[in-house]
Structure 1
Amino acid sequence: MSDEVEPGYVRVRLDLSYDGSEFSGWAKQAGGRRTVQGEIEDALRTVTRSRDVTYELTVAGRTDAGVHARGQVTHVDLPVEVWGEQRGKLLKRLAGRLPRDVRVWAVREAPSGFNARFSAVWRRYAYRVTDNPGGVDPLLRSHVLWHDWPLDVDVMNEAAERLLGEHDFAAYCKKREGATTIRTLQELSLERGSDGIITATVRADAFCHNMVRSLIGALLFVGDGHRGADWPGKVLAAGVRDSAVHVVRPHGLTLEEVGYPADELLAARNKEARNRRTLPGAGCC
């Protein structure tokens, strides 16, 4: 699969954010379900006046239904004449066409070798949870999970340290045919803010389906005392799903940022990522 842009086209990078509450995930689906990809592609078709042509988006991380994004990245290949006409207007035109729960913040020509998905070197997610006995602030209810047991953040961090590094995360992933579950977990840490909300920061080269929400589910079981700090590591080593590992609800999860190498390293990173794995075709985390 080549990343050479077809003659007569320009690759354009879009940076965006969305509230995933009312979306059935990122990727277009049969049956007319509302998706982020569908909304943006529809908006592009309208503002570029391309009635019968859909300019398909390639995204850094396909998020599941209910998952939010603050720092999502996608690319689209547009005809040279369309980009020439729209480049100074596209951002504002998209703002006028897109629904209020998805925003594009930057539109620019991508450097040579850029692929939003395969050029990325890491994705950083945040999962937010509170153990406040009174529940979640109503203004944050779509972005913070309520856990109705007190949580020990220190012991959760102790357990998290044992999961770092390159492993086969089969025990924490929903298997996809033809897709490896080997990932490099670069960061997994939790911090309680002054407002009582615990934010888990999770960064990896990539994630397989349900990985983040399964990891958080395991750490919550440690934090509330149902399991010891060594339990998530034992589950990882066993390599099989444990019925005690719950996939927590999606609304606490946000894709915060996607990292890319320097422009001159984009093509090499792209090739390396393709050779190392086949990413799942369905939603992530």
Structure 2
Amino acid sequence: MTRFRLDLGYRGTDFHGWAKQPGLRTVQTAVESGLERITGTEVATVVAGRTDAGVHARRQVVHIDLSDAAIEKLIGQSNRSAEVALLSRLRGVLAAGEFHDIVVHAVAEVSEDFDARFSALWRSYQYRLADHRSFIDPLLTQVTPRHKGELDVEAMAEAASEVQGLHDFLPFCKPREGATTIRTLHELRVVRDQDAVITIDLRADAFCHHM
């Protein structure tokens, strides 16, 4: 088996999250369906972090394992490398079907000890908020909810500083049996950009379920 790393981006608006759910449109279902079409076999994906319904991703990392037979079918009669063939064909099958809201940024062959979930050093999220001071780019209105009135960014930043570091984030999560809610929040930054839109950037070793 040969392991590959896939870097994906997707618009989460019309997806019910990453993880497969019967009868629902999910990113994992889309990617695994595309992989099966181009390799002729079922391919399981392992993801760095499962996103919830409606959440977008700029650089989601996934790893897959392909057999020699799957790679041979993938390459076909071309003289392309497995990486190039996988990138080109997966892009094509996603764009041509109903999953045009997923893009494959890059594909790389990796060692068998690489794990998209456990090799990740951190994950990051960004939230955008607007208030009466903000100008929202029309192309970004779907990802920038507006709050009536004015938000106090200094107070938000001060509160954010209190939760940085190593903490038990149980009040911020939907706990799962047997799973820890202790996380290290490396960064939680609250600023206004040039259009006075408030951006909240978070970076942590990992995030809890629905955190």
By the TM > 0.5 criterion, same fold?
yes
Give the conservation status (yes or no) of the 8 Å contact 1:132–1:196: no
Q: Distance in 2 between matches of 1:102 and 1:190?
A: 29
Which has the higher relative contact order, 1 or 2, with Cα contacts under 8 A spaced 6 or more apart? 1
Q: Distance in 1 between matches of 2:180 and 2:161?
A: 23
Q: How far off is 1:133 after superposition?
A: 6.3
What's the counterpart of residue 74 of structure 1? 62
Moved more, 16-25 or 97-106: 97-106
1:14 aligned onto 2:6: yes
Q: Distance in 1 between matches of 2:174 and 2:51?
A: 14
5+ residue gaps in structure 1? 1-8, 212-285
What's the counterpart of residue 47 of structure 2? 59
Give the conservation status (yes or no) of the 8 Å contact 2:134–2:195: no
Q: How far off is 1:108 after superposition?
A: 1.1
State how 1:235-254 maps to structure 2 within 5 Å. Answer: none
Moved more, 79-88 or 69-78: 79-88
Give the conservation status (yes or no) of the 8 Å contact 2:7–2:106: yes
Percent of matched pairs sharing the same residue: 52
Give the conservation status (yes or no) of the 8 Å contact 2:46–2:63: yes
Cα displacement string for residues 151-207 of structure 1 (whole angstroms, at most 9, x for unaligned residues): 111111111111111110111111111111000111001111111211111000000
Which amino acid is the alignment partner of residue 30 of structure 2?
A: E
Q: Distance in 1 between matches of 2:42 and 2:191?
A: 43
What's the counterpart of residue 182 of structure 1? 182
5+ residue gaps in structure 2? 76-81
State how 1:1-285 maps to structure 2 within 5 Å. Answer: 9-30=1-22, 32-48=23-39, 50=40, 53-83=41-71, 85-86=74-75, 87=82, 88-98=84-94, 99-132=99-132, 136-211=136-211
Q: Distance in 2 between matches of 1:155 and 1:136?
A: 22
Moved more, 188-197 or 80-89: 80-89
Query: Once superposed, what is the RMSD of the aligned Cα atoms?
Result: 1.6
Give the conservation status (yes or no) of the 8 Å contact 1:122–1:203: yes
Q: How far off is 1:14 after superposition?
A: 0.2
Q: Distance in 2 between matches of 1:134 and 1:104?
A: 33
Give the conservation status (yes or no) of the 8 Å contact 1:129–1:199: yes
Which amino acid is the alignment partner of residue 121 of structure 1?
A: L
Which amino acid is the alignment partner of residue 168 of structure 2?
A: D
Cα displacement string for residues 71-130 of structure 1 (whole angstroms, at most 9, x for unaligned residues): 100001110242355313121111111122100111111134110001111101111111
What's the TM-score, normalizing by structure 1? 0.66
Q: Distance in 1 between matches of 2:165 and 2:91?
A: 40
Which amino acid is the alignment partner of residue 9 of structure 2?
A: S
Give the conservation status (yes or no) of the 8 Å contact 2:136–2:195: no
Which amino acid is the alignment partner of residue 94 of structure 1?
A: L
Aligned residues: 199
Q: How far off is 1:139 after superposition?
A: 2.3
Closer/same/farther in 2, CA of residues 193 and 92 from structure 1, 3 Å limit: same
Q: Distance in 2 between matches of 1:112 and 1:38?
A: 24
